[in-house]
Amino acid sequence: MKFYKKVYKKFIVAAIILSMVMVSSDGMIFFRRNVYAAQTFTLGTAQKLGLANSKVYAKTKSQIAVQQTKYVDAVKSIEKRRKSLSSFRWTPLLSFKFPQDPLMDEEYTWMYKPLQIQTNITNLKHKLSDTVYASREEISSLYVDIYVSQVKIKYLTELIDGFEKDKERTNALIAAGTGNANDIRKIDNSLKKYKSVLAKEERAITVNKNKMKKLTKMDVSSHEFVNPFVTADIPRSAIDNFVKTAKERDHDFYVQKMTTSLAFSSLKMNYQLMKNHYGSKMDSLSPYISQAYNGQEIDVASFQKATDNFIEKVDRKWKGKRRILFFSFTLEWFMGDTDGSRYIEDSPYALATSAGDYIDALNDEKSAEQELEDTIRNDYEGLVTAKNAYLGMHDSNAELYEQIQKDKVKNLAGTFTMEELNDEQNELAGNGLDELDLLAAYSKLLYSYDRKTCGAVTDYLASSKASVKSSSGGKSYKTPGTEKEADDSFIDDAAEEGGDFIGGDNGTDSFLEADKIEGAYYYIESHVEDRMFAFGVSIPDDMTPKITDYELWVNDTRIGERTKTDEQIKHLTLALDNADKTVVKLYSSNKLIDICEIDSMVNRGKLNITASYKVVTQEKPRTAASYKMDINENLKTATFKFEKSEGEPISYYLVTDSEGNALLDGEHYRIDDEFEYLSAVAGDLTKLRVQFYDNEDNFLYTGDFVTNKGTVVVYPEAVE
């Protein structure tokens, strides 16, 4: 019995193998093709393969690596140049070069170039996300074209087979003497027409499958494509959310916003450099800067004229001559490299130019935003029109289909001729292909609209579970190619994938980790897109005592909160504007270790921790002055009267907010003069501070209100 079972198994295996091979006329053996059903190739698979093999994606990643290298080179070059200018240099040929201050143009380059490269990197990283939407649209559109050709080929093949059978039957009827020769001519004309269309579609599907192969790196010549048609009831109320999403994700608009932010940073840099160098002499130019900051149009010609007057003013002290003994020298001979207008001689109108550039960029951003919104809203109307055209054709064909079913019954009853029935069937056949084209056009428009809204349509379809059926309900008639339900699994996959394909964080300097400064150092990252900066420190692990926290102080005002050394402080860039003094306070738990002054205009630098890292003891806060406050309920005002403590060298004071901004016009009051302001400030005096000055109006220190004692106290930073 076992013997027969073995023979039977071998027979079955041999039969299977023989069914898979064919023998040619010359005796060659080869395997049959298409023994099994054709493999399916879904739209979701095509989208994933297309993105994974995207040349644009690979090229963009390469460009990011190049820009990161340029950033490191730029930072190193700037550090070397800055160090070179500040050092005494000489050569064996006794050529001496003394330390010198950089001109404004060079200082600006030191600040702007790293920021510009960093912006390029951020733009490229955003482009990676945008590649997802672009690739998805390209693949989807091509997939629809291939599927339409696939359906038409099957549809036309069946149609031609039907006409061939009709021709055979008609010839038989003619031979029997009951047929009509005109029917043969009509059938031949139809065969010629549809065979021509079939040949066209066969060429089209071959070309498009080759394109798909190039995009996905997969041979799909023998694969069967699946129904990709999507129709959805997208209400007009969804457009506002589409516009919002597009403004957040659209790459071209993002680049324009970054251009505006970079132009704003450029303007601030130029103004900050000139303000630091010329001080109050900049008052004549400040109104133009205020206009620019507020986004108001600027008369650049007037700004340039004001700059000419400013240059004349700063050079006025260097006009004339000075006599020394028997010699007479022009005062200009005594000017230093950065005195007078020499500081800005390479770019005298840089401030006016950067202000104009910022306003132009801001206007371009507003125009781009409006254009993007108009595109989203207008294209929605085109989408609705395309959908209605398809549904109209579908309903018309469905009615014709129902009529044909009734006329077939009439034909059998002899009340409806075969010629009339054939005419109706030919009409439905032609209309069916037109309907398929309309459905394909609508689906491609929907994929294109999803691209323009940067995935907002996909998000909507996935979240709302909107219908993705490709034919109207309640009809037995189906659009050619939609007999099987659409495979819409790619919608959830695409929504989950979204535009965050690249992962990671945009806009950070993490790639500089390979180029760290030895020892303790600080770094400043500029996030141009949201006009913020991130500040952080790097402390060696072997430092004793261990530094655990730090604070950032600008002009005696703390920025943010006390922060762990492995975390960053993020704040608006305005906090670093006009920074006369910037320090970092380092702590070990609650003990102040050291206070390091830093240069906030440098991207990174060493923290010069002194005293061999010994703990610096803190004194208790001292009372600098006492105060009395009277409230006038009728006038809604509060009047402050200060009295300095014994031994304090205070002659003037200035009341400010927590950020150091004067409450009134910035005028310094004598210590025995009263200060009057709106009574609303009395609600929370902890949000106010008092700056004290000596008898020559030199800054001394800043105090804080202690409301329960009626005093102003000063917290000492450290005792040497």
DSSP 168-219: HHHHHHHHTT---HHHHHHHHHHHHHHHHHHHHHHHHHHHHHHHHHHHHSS-
Bigger pLDDT: 614 vs 679:
679
Residues 535 and 602 in one domain: yes
How many Cβ atoms sit within 10 Å of the Cβ of residue 241?
Answer: 13
* Residue 177 pLDDT: 80
How many Cβ atoms sit within 10 Å of the Cβ of residue 415?
Answer: 9
Residue 196 phi, psi (nearest 5): -65, -45
**CATH number of the domain within which 687 lies:** 2.60.40.10
* Residue 334 pLDDT: 60
Share of the chain above pLDDT 70, in %: 76
Residues 550 and 583 in one domain: yes
* Residue 213 pLDDT: 93
Q: Which of 580, 613, 646 is the last residue of a domain?
A: 613
* Residue 241 pLDDT: 92
Is residue 357 a part of any domain in this protein? yes
Q: Among the ranges 278-282, 473-477, 600-604, which has the highest mean pLDDT value? A: 278-282
What pTM does this model have? Answer: 0.63
* Residue 329 pLDDT: 58
Q: What's the mean pLDDT in 567-593?
A: 76
* Residue 486 pLDDT: 59
CA distance 158 to 204: 19
Share of the chain above pLDDT 90, in %: 17
Q: Return the axis-axis angle of helices 251-278 and 286-293, rounded to nearest 10°.
A: 160
pLDDT (tens digit per residue) in 186-236? 888 888 988 999 999 999 999 999 999 999 999 999 999 988 887 778 889
Q: Which of 592, 613, 634 is the last residue of a domain?
A: 613
Is pLDDT at 166 greater than 70 in this prediction?
Answer: yes
Residues 359 and 272 in one domain: yes
* Nearest CA-CA partner of 654 in 643, 669, 641: 669
Q: Is 494 helix (H, G, I), strand (E, B) or coil?
A: helix
Burial of 91 (0-12, 13-18, 19+ CB in 10 A): exposed
Is residue 361 a part of any domain in this protein? yes
pLDDT (tens digit per residue) in 495-528? 555 544 333 343 344 444 434 556 788 887 766 5
* Residue 126 pLDDT: 87
Is residue 45 a part of any domain in this protein? no
Residues 331 and 307 in one domain: yes
Residues 557 and 626 in one domain: no
* Nearest CA-CA partner of 225 in 397, 82, 38: 38
* Residue 324 pLDDT: 60
* Residue 636 pLDDT: 72
| Number of domains into which the chain is organized | 4
pLDDT (tens digit per residue) in 384-411? 999 999 999 999 888 998 998 888 888 7
Is residue 554 a part of any domain in this protein? yes
Residues 585 and 651 in one domain: no
Is pLDDT at 120 greater than 80 in this prediction?
Answer: yes
* Nearest CA-CA partner of 511 in 74, 58, 55, 52: 74
Q: Is 450 helix (H, G, I), strand (E, B) or coil?
A: helix
* Residue 115 pLDDT: 82
Residues 600 and 628 in one domain: no
Residues 525 and 603 in one domain: yes
Which residues contact residue 437 at a Cβ distance below 8 angstroms, ignoring those fewer than 6 apart? 148
Bigger pLDDT: 635 vs 624:
624
Q: Is 358 helix (H, G, I), strand (E, B) or coil?
A: helix
CA distance 462 to 297: 45
> Are the CB atoms for 461 and 491 separated by under 8 Å?
yes
The strand pairing partners of 652, in sequence order, are 670, 693
Q: What's the mean pLDDT in 20-29?
A: 35
* Residue 503 pLDDT: 31
* Residue 493 pLDDT: 59
Residues 606 and 630 in one domain: no
Residue 544 phi, psi (nearest 5): -125, 130
Q: Is 520 helix (H, G, I), strand (E, B) or coil?
A: coil
CA distance 268 to 291: 13
Distances (CA, A) of 523 to 45, 167, 344, 443, 567: 44, 85, 28, 50, 12
Residues 271 and 356 in one domain: yes
* Nearest CA-CA partner of 285 in 198, 344, 206, 360: 344
Is residue 400 a part of any domain in this protein? no
pLDDT (tens digit per residue) in 258-315? 999 889 988 988 888 888 888 888 888 888 888 888 888 888 889 999 989 988 888 7
* Residue 382 pLDDT: 92
Element (H, E) at 69: helix 55-85
Is residue 273 a part of any domain in this protein? yes
> Average model confidence (pLDDT) for the chain?
78
Residues 644 and 567 in one domain: no
Q: What angle do CA 136, 388, 423 make, to 5 degrees?
A: 110
Residues 537 and 640 in one domain: no
> Are the CB atoms for 611 and 629 separated by under 8 Å?
no
**CATH number of the domain within which 543 lies:** 2.60.40
Burial of 441 (0-12, 13-18, 19+ CB in 10 A): middle
* Residue 360 pLDDT: 92
Is residue 502 a part of any domain in this protein? no
Is pLDDT at 542 greater than 60 in this prediction?
Answer: yes
When pLDDT is cut at 50, 70 and 90, the band that residue 423 belongs to is confident
Bigger pLDDT: 620 vs 471:
620
* Residue 77 pLDDT: 78
Is residue 284 a part of any domain in this protein? yes
Q: Which of 347, 368, 389 is the last residue of a domain?
A: 368
Q: Which domain holds residue 282?
A: 250-368
